[in-house]
Amino acid sequence: MRDVIIACDFKNREELFVFLKKFEGLNPFLKIGMEIFYKEGPQLVEELKRMGCRIFLDLKLHDIPNTVEKAMRNIAKLGVDITNVHAGGGIEMMKAARRGLDSVEEGKNTKLIAVTMLTSISQEALEKELKISMPLQEVVKTYANNAKEAGLDGVVCSALEAPIIKKMGLISVTPGIRFADDSVNDQKRVATPAYAKELGADYIVVGRSITAQDDPVAAYKRCLKEFC
């Protein structure tokens, strides 16, 4: 079940397709996030799906339940493989997302996951900025429990929390992945592909450690070798 998802954080369609040309015949799993989705819209996702790409649409919906349900109906029509909401929206919002996704035939095979805590958030930021005094791992566990109660398939979490998620019977999608010789950049809770595998992550999301390399295909294959 383990797989590597490439975070396609490009400015526009042109940049993305120049990058993807290098991966012909490999059919990598792609994460389409806010930056390029807000520029290119759902048409980009539809084009990638026609090409046979597997897609994680990473928009982190977080709004009142009614709005999220209606938005998820539109996302469902795209037939992506994974999409997400933010667990901070609460159980009723996540249930609404599930209803919206399941109400459209194309969305019934889409895995719905919830972001627990961004990998850029540290314990210090949790306490000082968000005014949450619980240990970060306890917050992740609580949010994951809420996601499970709402009927979601899994959560986005750092690899460090993957063992907790695995025990709960949920899938874990883990960003913040870096090779041992890479810079961590703006991530706080990071792991190597090999360590994420050891911790039991189901999917790893890898961005700059692949996309910023002179030979991104070699970096991708290195991730597959270390993780899958």
Residues with a known catalytic role: 60
Contact (Cβ atoms closer than 8 angstroms) between residue 184 and residue 190: yes
CB-CB neighbours of 198 under 10 Å: 14
How long, in residues, is the chain?
228
With vertex at residue 13, the alpha carbon angle to CA 11 and CA 15, rounded to the nearest 5 degrees, is 60
- Name every residue whose Cβ is closer than 8 Å to that of residue 78 and which is 6 or more positions away in sequence: 42, 45, 46, 49, 55, 57, 106
Which residues are registered as beta bridge partners of 206? 6
Phi, psi of 46 (to 5 degrees): -60, -40
Please report where in the chains the tokens 């993780």 appear, as a residue.
Answer: 227
CB-CB neighbours of 199 under 10 Å: 19
